[in-house]
A and B are shown apart, each in its own frame.
Chain A
Amino acid sequence: MIDSEPLLDVRELSVTFTRKGGPTVRAVDGVSFTVRPGETVGLVGESGSGKSVTSLAVMGLLPRRGVEVGGQVLFDGDDLLTLPRDRMRDIRGRDIAMVFQDPMSSLNPVVPIGVQVTEVLERHQDLSGDAARSAAAELLSRVGIPDPTRRLKEYPHQLSGGMRQRALIAMALACRPRVLIADEPTTALDVTIQAQIIELLKELVQDTGAALVMITHDLGIVAGLCDTVHVMYSGRIVESAGRRELFAQPRHPYTGGLLASVPRLDAPRGRPLHPIPGSPTDVLRWSRGCAFAPRCPNRIEPCTDGPPPLESIGGRSLRCLNPLAETEEVAAR
């Protein structure tokens, strides 16, 4: 499965925000990754690492003014970045769908849930009237919303947060897309609901054969879900690896720091957490060397001379001049 041709091929994607009278900000810088059919890919990083902007760029949802997008996003042999807008509208929602972070604000408050589900079916599948409504009820029950026929007539404020996210997932999967992008789909939800939603997503992508791009800052989600993981820092990928390799042996100090900062239940009581010191800077620092260098425990002299290249080392990609040693047990520090 993993050896098949990529379905989505993102090449050297860059996104620059230009503001009148302000500095230009490069939010995404030369990001490349592929998504194969049925594969689950994790895009991990802190807030401001460019992961959400990457997903919006792939979907063609960035504002047209004040944003420059470079590189290529190949899907089915087409470069989505240069596709005419109407062609892109055909692909969005049908072939590539997206679930957003905040289910509270992602549903239109004055339109019944039913209409918001059926409108996708009407747009892409030529369903209408009763056929669309029964398909919508089917979808809602598929995502675990009880009493779907009644729910279709209700408005978003009558549903709980978890139910709303389920409804949004139903909308995203309505046309059986080949790629589903989930941008922090559980961040706004209670912890107990989070697990349910992740479980649901996992189940649904398995059933429909959709590839999943999971964007998150939560390594716990990645560990239980993703085949491949890309760790982003300040707009660039710093480490890419298979899930097992990455968790068993993180090589980039940033990945190591992320793993070490996850609270563990099996750790002795009272042991302090290990945060990564400092915070990511707003303006990208890659021009003056590794952007992570100021916070990095493994920093060496050449790190600040110039941006380190992304190199393939033993089946993974790594952007680091002084990676963590192969044997170093990070998680147990």
Chain B
Amino acid sequence: MLKFVVRRLLLLVPILFGLSVLLFVWLRALPGGPAQALLGERATAESVARIEALYGLNDPWYVQYWKFLSAAVQLDFGNSARTNRPVTEEMVRTFPATFELAIAALIFAIGIGIPLGYYAARKYGSWLDNLSVSGSLLGVAVPVFFLAYILKYVFSVQLGWFPTQGRQDPRIDADHPTGLYVLDGIITGNLEASWDAIMHLVLPAIALGAIPLAIIVRITRASVLDVVHEDYVRTAEAKGLWERTITRRHVLRNALLPVVTVIGLQAGLLFSGAILTETVFAFDGVGRFIAEAISNRDYAVLQGFILVIAAMYVVVNLLVDVSYGLIDPRVRVR
């Protein structure tokens, strides 16, 4: 098991190296440049040249790449061209926010998706089943930003049930030792801040979790439909076991295997969804920060953030594989 994990982690090295090269070349192929973006439309050629010289942007790309790489292995991704703060510092500020949002979105998607998928399968062909199937189709089809705007308009602007933006009411005075605001409130004993953070999370989490929810419902439903016709479920019925036991031990434990894989893949994709959600809700996280970095051609930020996100994606998938081995003895890794 340990060998398996180490091997997979070593695989990260070539993945990240390849990605960094691609990213580097691709970013520099974009029209415009950081100097241009920094100085605005009416910048003179001289001022652009001065900035480019200052940041080493005139060097050949391989020289720039080498500089970047030798710093990056020490977790130094340079400074943001826009905020002029170290990229690592921006990461420490924004990653916990997105992490918190992603967890909330997953709780929403899994907490509703698995029970809904299960009952849809058990009531196959009923109104609940039809509703869940068509609802999940809608969930996948509606663009995230559109859903986010609708949610915000209806529940924040019109009904006023939830705050419209941000992570915390500015009037609340709270300490943030971890950057996960809900957890921070609990740690510091400031439950009011925790509750406020939760209220700020609800709508973004629903918007971000809609697609994973829809996919989890569908996979769970299909998988349960498969498993209930398995011979071992019939064996369990022949034993006269209670329906509860059959559901938990014989149906769900098998039906959730493919769902776990899908959850892992979706968890990795949440970061890209977060770009849209965070922008709509002015949620100060990775997604919003990257979106701004793209429009500012902020090379350092993009390089650093995308590499870290890629590494996280690989780690999440590793966790999925490991957990798969824990729940399915047949694929237990040696």
Contacts and interface: CB of A to CB of B under 8 A. Distances in A.
Given A105-B230, A109-B254, A155 B330 contact: yes
Interface string B245-267: 10001100110010000000000
A94 B257 CA distance: 31
B236 A108 contact: yes
Interface string B273-300: 0000000000000000000000000000
Contact of A111 (B230, B253, B257): B253
B242 A89 contact: yes
B289 to A, nearest CB: 42
A108 B240 contact: no
Given A119-B249, A155-B329, A155-B330, A107 B235 contact: yes
Contacts of B245: 119, 123
Given A105-B232, A107-B232, A157-B330, A120 B239 contact: yes
B227 to A, nearest CB: 10
A124 B239 CA distance: 9
A110 interface: yes
A93 B249 contact: no
B253 A93 contact: no
Contacts of B234: 61, 100, 106
Contact of A89 (B241, B253, B257): B241
B45 interface: no
B237 interface: yes
A94 B236 contact: no
Given A111-B249, A155-B330, A157-B330, A123 B231 contact: no
A36 to B, nearest CB: 22
B238 interface: yes
Given A61-B234, A106-B232, A109-B232, A93 B328 contact: no
A93 B235 CA distance: 10
A110 to B, nearest CB: 5
Contacts of B330: 109-110, 155, 157
Interface in A141-175: 155, 157, 168, 171-172
B328 A110 contact: yes
A92 B237 contact: yes
B327 interface: yes
B37 to A, nearest CB: 54
B241 A123 contact: yes
Given A88-B240, A108-B235, 17 more contacts: A89-B241, A90-B240, A92-B239, A97-B238, A105-B230, A107-B232, A108-B250, A108-B254, A109-B232, A109-B329, A110-B257, A110-B329, A111-B250, A111-B253, A123-B242, A171-B235, A172-B238
Q: 6 closest pairs, A vs B, by CB?
A: A93-B240, A92-B240, A93-B239, A105-B231, A108-B232, A155-B329
20 contacts: A61-B237, A61-B238, A89-B240, A89-B242, A91-B240, A92-B239, A100-B234, A100-B235, A105-B230, A108-B232, A108-B249, A108-B253, A109-B330, A110-B328, A110-B329, A111-B253, A119-B241, A124-B240, A157-B329, A171-B239
